[in-house]
Amino acid sequence: MSGLTVEDISHDWGARHALDGVSFSVEPGRFCALLGPNGAGKSTLFGVLTRLFSPRAGRISIAGHDMGREPSAALARMGVVFQASTLDLDLTVKRNLLYFAALHGLSGREAESRAMAALDRLGMAERAGEKAAKLNGGHRRRMEIARALVHRPKVLLLDEPTVGLDAASRAAITQHVHDLAAEGLTVLWSTHLVDEVRAQDRLVILHRGRVLADGEAGDIGGDDLNQRFLALTGDQA
Protein backbone atom coordinates (compact mmCIF):
# COMPACT_ATOMS: atom_id res chain seq x y z
CA MET A 1 0.00 0.00 0.00
CA SER A 2 1.36 3.45 -0.93
CA GLY A 3 -0.24 5.38 1.95
CA LEU A 4 0.26 4.59 5.63
CA THR A 5 0.15 1.10 7.13
CA VAL A 6 0.43 0.30 10.84
CA GLU A 7 0.54 -3.40 11.68
CA ASP A 8 0.31 -4.83 15.20
CA ILE A 9 2.33 -2.05 16.87
CA SER A 10 3.01 -2.54 20.58
CA HIS A 11 5.05 -0.36 22.92
CA ASP A 12 5.55 -0.35 26.67
CA TRP A 13 6.49 2.31 29.18
CA GLY A 14 7.86 0.08 31.94
CA ALA A 15 5.04 -2.19 33.05
CA ARG A 16 2.39 -0.12 31.26
CA HIS A 17 1.23 -1.12 27.79
CA ALA A 18 1.09 2.22 25.97
CA LEU A 19 0.22 0.58 22.64
CA ASP A 20 -1.22 -2.92 22.39
CA GLY A 21 -1.41 -4.45 18.91
CA VAL A 22 -2.44 -1.26 17.09
CA SER A 23 -3.27 -1.86 13.42
CA PHE A 24 -4.87 0.30 10.73
CA SER A 25 -4.11 1.65 7.27
CA VAL A 26 -4.82 4.90 5.43
CA GLU A 27 -4.90 5.03 1.65
CA PRO A 28 -3.64 8.00 -0.40
CA GLY A 29 -6.00 10.95 -0.54
CA ARG A 30 -7.74 10.13 2.74
CA PHE A 31 -8.06 12.20 5.90
CA CYS A 32 -7.89 9.82 8.84
CA ALA A 33 -8.69 11.11 12.31
CA LEU A 34 -6.96 9.32 15.17
CA LEU A 35 -9.43 10.10 17.94
CA GLY A 36 -8.81 9.36 21.59
CA PRO A 37 -8.96 10.95 25.03
CA ASN A 38 -5.81 12.26 26.67
CA GLY A 39 -3.59 9.34 27.59
CA ALA A 40 -4.99 7.07 24.90
CA GLY A 41 -1.58 6.49 23.31
CA LYS A 42 -1.84 8.93 20.41
CA SER A 43 1.44 10.74 21.07
CA THR A 44 3.20 7.45 21.77
CA LEU A 45 2.05 6.19 18.39
CA PHE A 46 3.33 9.37 16.73
CA GLY A 47 6.68 8.85 18.46
CA VAL A 48 6.85 5.35 16.98
CA LEU A 49 5.72 6.54 13.54
CA THR A 50 8.44 9.20 13.46
CA ARG A 51 11.10 6.82 14.81
CA LEU A 52 11.69 8.76 18.01
CA PHE A 53 11.65 5.33 19.63
CA SER A 54 11.24 1.76 18.44
CA PRO A 55 8.17 -0.37 19.16
CA ARG A 56 8.37 -3.68 20.97
CA ALA A 57 6.61 -5.31 18.05
CA GLY A 58 4.94 -4.50 14.76
CA ARG A 59 5.58 -2.99 11.37
CA ILE A 60 5.09 0.45 9.79
CA SER A 61 5.04 1.30 6.09
CA ILE A 62 5.19 4.86 4.75
CA ALA A 63 4.36 5.30 1.04
CA GLY A 64 5.43 1.73 0.38
CA HIS A 65 8.66 1.89 2.40
CA ASP A 66 9.10 -0.33 5.44
CA MET A 67 10.21 1.76 8.43
CA GLY A 68 12.29 -1.09 9.84
CA ARG A 69 14.14 -1.97 6.63
CA GLU A 70 14.22 1.45 4.91
CA PRO A 71 14.00 4.07 7.66
CA SER A 72 15.59 6.89 5.65
CA ALA A 73 13.31 6.36 2.66
CA ALA A 74 10.24 6.08 4.89
CA LEU A 75 11.04 9.23 6.87
CA ALA A 76 11.84 11.19 3.70
CA ARG A 77 8.27 10.63 2.51
CA MET A 78 6.72 11.83 5.75
CA GLY A 79 5.81 15.35 6.85
CA VAL A 80 5.20 15.92 10.56
CA VAL A 81 3.55 18.64 12.62
CA PHE A 82 4.15 17.96 16.31
CA GLN A 83 1.92 19.21 19.10
CA ALA A 84 4.66 21.46 20.50
CA SER A 85 5.80 24.24 18.19
CA THR A 86 9.35 24.01 16.80
CA LEU A 87 9.48 27.32 14.94
CA ASP A 88 12.36 29.79 15.17
CA LEU A 89 10.44 32.90 16.16
CA ASP A 90 13.36 35.21 15.33
CA LEU A 91 13.33 34.19 11.65
CA THR A 92 10.84 35.21 8.99
CA VAL A 93 8.20 32.79 7.79
CA LYS A 94 10.11 32.08 4.58
CA ARG A 95 13.46 31.71 6.35
CA ASN A 96 11.95 29.07 8.63
CA LEU A 97 10.91 27.10 5.57
CA LEU A 98 14.23 27.60 3.77
CA TYR A 99 16.11 26.35 6.81
CA PHE A 100 13.93 23.23 6.87
CA ALA A 101 14.43 22.78 3.12
CA ALA A 102 18.20 22.84 3.64
CA LEU A 103 17.88 19.98 6.12
CA HIS A 104 16.37 17.97 3.26
CA GLY A 105 19.18 18.89 0.89
CA LEU A 106 17.27 21.60 -0.95
CA SER A 107 18.77 25.00 -1.72
CA GLY A 108 18.72 27.92 -4.15
CA ARG A 109 15.82 28.42 -6.52
CA GLU A 110 14.41 24.96 -5.87
CA ALA A 111 14.13 25.61 -2.13
CA GLU A 112 12.68 29.08 -2.73
CA SER A 113 10.12 27.73 -5.19
CA ARG A 114 9.02 24.92 -2.89
CA ALA A 115 8.80 27.17 0.15
CA MET A 116 6.61 29.71 -1.61
CA ALA A 117 4.43 26.99 -3.15
CA ALA A 118 3.88 25.42 0.28
CA LEU A 119 3.02 28.79 1.83
CA ASP A 120 0.60 29.52 -1.00
CA ARG A 121 -1.21 26.20 -0.41
CA LEU A 122 -1.84 27.27 3.19
CA GLY A 123 -2.80 30.85 2.34
CA MET A 124 0.41 32.21 3.88
CA ALA A 125 2.37 33.50 0.88
CA GLU A 126 1.65 37.15 1.67
CA ARG A 127 3.21 36.68 5.13
CA ALA A 128 6.49 35.19 3.88
CA GLY A 129 8.53 38.22 4.95
CA GLU A 130 7.02 38.58 8.43
CA LYS A 131 8.81 37.34 11.52
CA ALA A 132 7.24 34.21 12.97
CA ALA A 133 7.04 35.93 16.36
CA LYS A 134 4.47 38.37 14.99
CA LEU A 135 2.03 35.70 13.80
CA ASN A 136 -1.01 34.62 15.79
CA GLY A 137 -1.43 30.99 16.84
CA GLY A 138 -3.49 29.97 13.83
CA HIS A 139 -1.03 31.43 11.33
CA ARG A 140 1.91 29.81 13.12
CA ARG A 141 0.18 26.46 12.76
CA ARG A 142 -0.43 27.06 9.06
CA MET A 143 3.24 27.94 8.72
CA GLU A 144 4.25 24.68 10.42
CA ILE A 145 2.03 22.70 8.08
CA ALA A 146 3.52 24.53 5.09
CA ARG A 147 7.00 23.74 6.39
CA ALA A 148 6.09 20.04 6.64
CA LEU A 149 5.15 20.10 2.93
CA VAL A 150 8.38 21.65 1.58
CA HIS A 151 10.01 18.29 0.76
CA ARG A 152 6.77 17.06 -0.87
CA PRO A 153 5.90 14.17 1.44
CA LYS A 154 3.35 11.50 0.59
CA VAL A 155 2.11 11.17 4.18
CA LEU A 156 1.35 14.03 6.59
CA LEU A 157 1.14 13.39 10.34
CA LEU A 158 -0.35 16.01 12.68
CA ASP A 159 -0.35 15.48 16.44
CA GLU A 160 -3.12 17.53 18.11
CA PRO A 161 -2.45 20.43 15.71
CA THR A 162 -5.24 22.71 16.97
CA VAL A 163 -4.41 22.66 20.69
CA GLY A 164 -4.68 26.16 22.12
CA LEU A 165 -6.32 27.70 19.05
CA ASP A 166 -9.66 29.51 18.99
CA ALA A 167 -12.69 28.02 17.24
CA ALA A 168 -12.23 29.98 14.00
CA SER A 169 -8.55 29.05 13.73
CA ARG A 170 -9.33 25.39 14.46
CA ALA A 171 -11.94 25.33 11.71
CA ALA A 172 -9.60 26.98 9.21
CA ILE A 173 -6.71 24.61 9.93
CA THR A 174 -8.99 21.58 9.73
CA GLN A 175 -10.34 22.75 6.37
CA HIS A 176 -6.84 23.39 4.99
CA VAL A 177 -5.72 19.88 5.86
CA HIS A 178 -8.88 18.30 4.42
CA ASP A 179 -8.09 20.19 1.21
CA LEU A 180 -4.57 18.71 1.19
CA ALA A 181 -6.05 15.22 1.51
CA ALA A 182 -8.40 15.96 -1.39
CA GLU A 183 -5.31 16.76 -3.47
CA GLY A 184 -3.95 13.24 -2.84
CA LEU A 185 -2.00 13.50 0.41
CA THR A 186 -2.36 10.76 3.03
CA VAL A 187 -3.27 12.48 6.32
CA LEU A 188 -3.24 11.17 9.89
CA TRP A 189 -4.75 13.79 12.20
CA SER A 190 -4.54 13.10 15.93
CA THR A 191 -7.17 14.76 18.13
CA HIS A 192 -9.30 14.38 21.24
CA LEU A 193 -11.94 16.74 19.81
CA VAL A 194 -14.91 15.03 18.20
CA ASP A 195 -16.03 18.18 16.38
CA GLU A 196 -12.90 18.04 14.20
CA VAL A 197 -14.08 14.76 12.64
CA ARG A 198 -16.34 14.80 9.58
CA ALA A 199 -18.76 12.06 8.64
CA GLN A 200 -16.82 11.18 5.48
CA ASP A 201 -13.46 10.96 7.28
CA ARG A 202 -11.70 7.73 8.02
CA LEU A 203 -11.78 7.30 11.79
CA VAL A 204 -9.65 5.28 14.19
CA ILE A 205 -10.67 5.48 17.85
CA LEU A 206 -7.79 4.74 20.22
CA HIS A 207 -8.20 4.19 23.96
CA ARG A 208 -5.75 2.78 26.49
CA GLY A 209 -3.42 1.79 23.68
CA ARG A 210 -5.97 -0.23 21.73
CA VAL A 211 -8.03 0.42 18.61
CA LEU A 212 -11.71 0.33 19.58
CA ALA A 213 -13.20 1.31 16.20
CA ASP A 214 -11.88 1.69 12.66
CA GLY A 215 -13.92 2.77 9.63
CA GLU A 216 -15.94 5.63 8.20
CA ALA A 217 -16.75 8.21 10.87
CA GLY A 218 -20.39 8.40 9.79
CA ASP A 219 -20.76 4.63 10.09
CA ILE A 220 -19.10 4.50 13.50
CA GLY A 221 -20.84 7.50 15.00
CA GLY A 222 -24.28 7.23 13.47
CA ASP A 223 -26.37 10.24 14.43
CA ASP A 224 -24.12 11.26 17.34
CA LEU A 225 -20.38 10.56 17.14
CA ASN A 226 -19.75 12.28 20.47
CA GLN A 227 -22.08 9.92 22.34
CA ARG A 228 -20.60 6.92 20.55
CA PHE A 229 -17.09 8.09 21.43
CA LEU A 230 -18.01 8.54 25.09
CA ALA A 231 -19.70 5.15 25.18
CA LEU A 232 -16.63 3.42 23.74
CA THR A 233 -14.03 5.15 25.89
CA GLY A 234 -16.04 5.42 29.08
CA ASP A 235 -15.12 9.11 29.41
CA GLN A 236 -17.57 11.61 30.81
CA ALA A 237 -18.45 14.89 29.08
- Residue 42's nearest CA partner among 230, 188, 178, 169 is 188
Q: Are residues 189 and 235 in the same domain?
A: yes
Q: d(Cα 193, Cα 160) in Å, to the nearest integer?
A: 9
Q: Which pLDDT value is given to residue 17?
A: 86
Q: Which pLDDT value is given to residue 1?
A: 59
Q: Are residues 96 and 146 in the same domain?
A: yes
Q: Is the predicted pLDDT of residue 234 greater than 90, yes or no?
A: no
Q: Which pLDDT value is given to residue 236?
A: 42
Does 65 reside within a domain? yes
**pLDDT tens column, 32-85:** 999 999 889 999 999 999 999 888 899 999 999 999 999 999 999 999 999 888
Q: d(Cα 136, Cα 86) in Å, to the nearest integer?
A: 15
- Residue 194 identity: V
Which CATH number covers residue 211?
3.40.50.300
Containing domain of residue 182, as a range? Answer: 1-77+154-237
Does 107 reside within a domain? yes
Boundary (domain end) residue, out of 152, 180, 201: 152
Number of independent structural domains in the chain: 2
Q: Are residues 24 and 118 in the same domain?
A: no
Q: Is the predicted pLDDT of residue 237 greater than 50, yes or no?
A: no
210-216 and 65-66 as β-strands: parallel, antiparallel, unpaired?
A: unpaired
Does 196 reside within a domain? yes
Does 60 reside within a domain? yes
Does 114 reside within a domain? yes
Q: Which pLDDT value is given to residue 61?
A: 96
Q: Is the predicted pLDDT of residue 31 greater than 50, yes or no?
A: yes
